[in-house]
A and B are shown apart, each in its own frame.
Chain A
């Protein structure tokens, strides 16, 4: 890749000082921060050339994501509860309903408890929406975006069913939890849970552990048309001729890292309400914190969200890949500090 850092550039001036004396220093090298700035400029140039409008939406929202596996941080402003947004999606869909046309945003988002080599509790998300495109059309654009920013080759594309068949040897739409469990065990995966693993849990585990490490080693790899349980906010497409129904969702992987997640967006307000309510029900079952329903976003869908596709891309991970960095810390000016 053209922007890969010279190993020597990763060393700051204070290399001979011990760890305690260096605790004030940035997590990333200055070379990594310069690379990050170049990539941000290229991203903005990419959208400017395509007439996609840059927008900003609030980080503090009265509502937040209902996804049972995403936890929001909450705070209080003037005595009322506000949530640090886990994604700008809810606000951006309201802009789309108001007739904004194609929009993008580069913003900080926040997720409780997500700390690891590829996770920081606050991170930078690039999210964009394209009225008139479906998930295939948007995959084409994401592909061009990655080529423009990273200089990588044209992508490979497979359905979720194809990658599952290849690396797990099971049908992800039809296999039951026990079949997925025996496939996982045959692959040497040993899962521990007192509450048990649902079919959905097995799908996530197998994707993360048995499939992801193979994806995008040389060029971006798109996986699309997901099983229904993983629909999130994607449209459902009815299967024809005995084929299963699928969620029109995609993810893109590069160097074994999940980089972006996109949907052919659900635009039906009443179905949106049902999915939010189902999420809230799952949150109760799983003992997660209660979150309010975003009535304004549902109202926007009822008013009319144009048919569109949207995608969220982890910008820090993109910088990680460009810098060939081992962990997200290496590309953050200051990473999340444990106390």
Chain B
């Protein structure tokens, strides 16, 4: 439980049953009259930004948020499964919680899992991943400069823009934040 005078950016709280992080908190008070705290929050499930004005002295529930490095194990028909390598405890998450991380995760990959009340709400892949090309137009010999480009499908299903010389079976390094090709892995 936090009171308005404890509101700070970075504080994790529960608003309308959803976990949120406070990104801005500003004390507002007319010279004579009720004081307020104007708050900007980001919903940790949807990433949507919300604005609320609290009467001073109001309280809000803390959110039990833990971020843990985990290993991605496998996917069954419905759920993605992760394991905490320290406790060996396993967690499952539906596709909507995994989100875009699904494009970059192959089995045994390390990732950052955000838990709310011990339930997975977000998965963040490593900044860089190495994945194999499973489909691409044939490579053009001699085009080592990498001018021009084409699309290639990776083993996780992600489709990325790559230079013309890239061939099926090659391993590529990719930036998961932008989805951009970084280079070939020897």
B34:A201 contact, CB within 8 angstroms: yes
Within 8 A of A (CB), among B25-45: 26-36, 38
Residues in B neighbouring A258, C-beta threshold 8 A: 30-31
Residues in A neighbouring B56, C-beta threshold 8 A: 113
B34:A192 contact, CB within 8 angstroms: no
A189:B53 contact, CB within 8 angstroms: yes
B32:A230 contact, CB within 8 angstroms: yes
Interface residue SS majority, chain B: strand
B32, B38, B51, B52: the one contacting A69 at CB < 8 Å is B32
A70-B32 contact given A113-B5, A114-B27, A117-B26, CB 8 Å threshold: yes
- CA of A117 to CA of B35, assembled, Å: 14
B80 within 8 A of A: no
A208 within 8 A of B: yes
| Nearest CB of B to A136, in Å | 20
Contact with B along A179-212 (1 / 0, CB 8 A): 0000000001111111101001100110111000
Residues in A neighbouring B5, C-beta threshold 8 A: 113
Chain B residue at minimum C-beta to C-beta distance from A232 = B32
B33:A194 contact, CB within 8 angstroms: no
A191-B34 contact given A113-B5, A119-B27, CB 8 Å threshold: no
| Size bracket, chain B contacts | 20 to 34
A67:B34 contact, CB within 8 angstroms: no
| Nearest CB of A to B166, in Å | 46
Chain A residue at minimum C-beta to C-beta distance from B53 = A191
B55 within 8 A of A: yes
A194:B58 contact, CB within 8 angstroms: yes
A208-B28 contact given A191-B52, A192-B55, CB 8 Å threshold: yes
Contact with A along B51-77 (1 / 0, CB 8 A): 111111011100000000000000000
- CA of A332 to CA of B54, assembled, Å: 28
A69-B27 contact given A190-B51, A191-B55, A205-B53, CB 8 Å threshold: no
A-to-B contact residues, CB < 8 Å: 67, 69-70, 113-117, 119, 188-195, 197, 200-201, 204-205, 207-209, 230, 232, 251, 258, 261, 312, 314
Q: Which 6 A-B pairs have the closest CB atoms?
A: A116-B27, A204-B33, A193-B55, A261-B31, A192-B54, A204-B34
